[in-house]
Amino acid sequence: MTKLRSKHILGISHLSAEEISFILDTAESLKEILDRPIKKVPPLRGRTIISLFFEPSTRTKLSFDLAAKRLSADSISISAKTSSVVKGETLIDTVRNIQAMRPDIIVIRHSMSGVPHLISRYIDASVINAGDGINEHPSQALLDLYTVREHFGHIEGLKVTIVGDIAHSRVAHSDILGFNKMGAEVTVCGPATMIPPYVEELGCKVSLNLKEAVKDSDVVIALRIQKERQGRSLIPSEREYSTVFGISREVMSYLKDTAILMHPGPINRGVEMSSEVVDSERSIILDQVTNGVAIRMALFTLLLADTGEN
């Protein structure tokens, strides 16, 4: 494989297993740049990457920005507060104006599902989905896959359990699709009010009992819990959630001895995971963050590789 089929990264649902492997391999070859004393290489010099964040983000925004700079691209981030959106401009007009300035890639995060797909129809630049509503967060799933592959040497055959608000998590959605495509066995677990209908269709099992769900797991991914979703309480309290679904040291004992613990961040310590578990040697949460930069470098490189260098 020498290039991706699509010029956009809209979701894991659009990527084949072969493409995912190709992205992970590319990230692997780029990762060593992050350990150099001078962390900058020239391949994307003169390329323009614009990040549009219509939702708050620290980690993802920084990660995309750093990835662009490491590759010498010109990168600019706009957050919803500073854009014209607050002046009543439609999203499509905003995007058309940005297109008129000839960027190569637009990275977009938006609170509504399908927005990256929508704007990809109106512009020539490549679109990378940095999280759309409760739909997908493909670069997060790719960095999760990368981190697991780096740790175990493979993904196929691993037992992966995702715990938390599956229904409102774009990370869960992309992770289920990604781990399933790469041959892992995925189980989701959480309060039944947070399990979406027909989630099995995405390629996972559903378990309503945490101990059964995590039993013999190789990987446990805990998701951030927000009690209120659009004013609707899906759980009685965070306290009860942490009692029934929180990852404690006791829960960790049901996993395989070699198992690892992941979280897309930001963490509510003491809610989805106990503090001691977060800081334990089983947790590879910070590796995920490092790998995120490599994955985003890989996405930029692959999307711009074939567009006729100068």
Contact residues for other proteins (CB under 8 A)?
Answer: 13, 90-92, 110, 112-115, 117-118, 132-136, 170, 173, 196-199, 201-202, 230, 232
Question: At its nearest, how many Å lie between other proteins and the CB of residue 272?
Answer: 21
Quick check: is 102 catalytic? no
Question: At its nearest, how many Å lie between other proteins and the CB of residue 89?
Answer: 12
Quick check: is 154 catalytic? no
User: Which of 72/113 has CB closer to other proteins?
Assistant: 113
Quick check: is 36 catalytic? no
Question: At its nearest, how many Å lie between other proteins and the CB of residue 11?
Answer: 9
Quick check: is 296 catalytic? no
- Marked catalytic residue, from 2, 87, 232, 258: 87
User: Which of 196/265 has CB closer to other proteins?
Assistant: 196
Quick check: is 45 catalytic? no
- Marked catalytic residue, from 26, 47, 60, 263: 60
User: Which of 119/219 has CB closer to other proteins?
Assistant: 119
Question: At its nearest, how many Å lie between other proteins and the CB of residue 140?
Answer: 14
User: Which of 198/258 has CB closer to other proteins?
Assistant: 198
Please state, in angstroms and rounded to a whole number, the distance separating the CA atoms of residues 199 and 212.
Answer: 18
- Marked catalytic residue, from 8, 137, 159, 168: 137
User: Which of 78/289 has CB closer to other proteins?
Assistant: 78
- Marked catalytic residue, from 7, 14, 59, 229: 59
Question: At its nearest, how many Å lie between other proteins and the CB of residue 76?
Answer: 23
Q: Any idea which residues carry the catalytic annotation? A: 59-60, 87, 109, 137
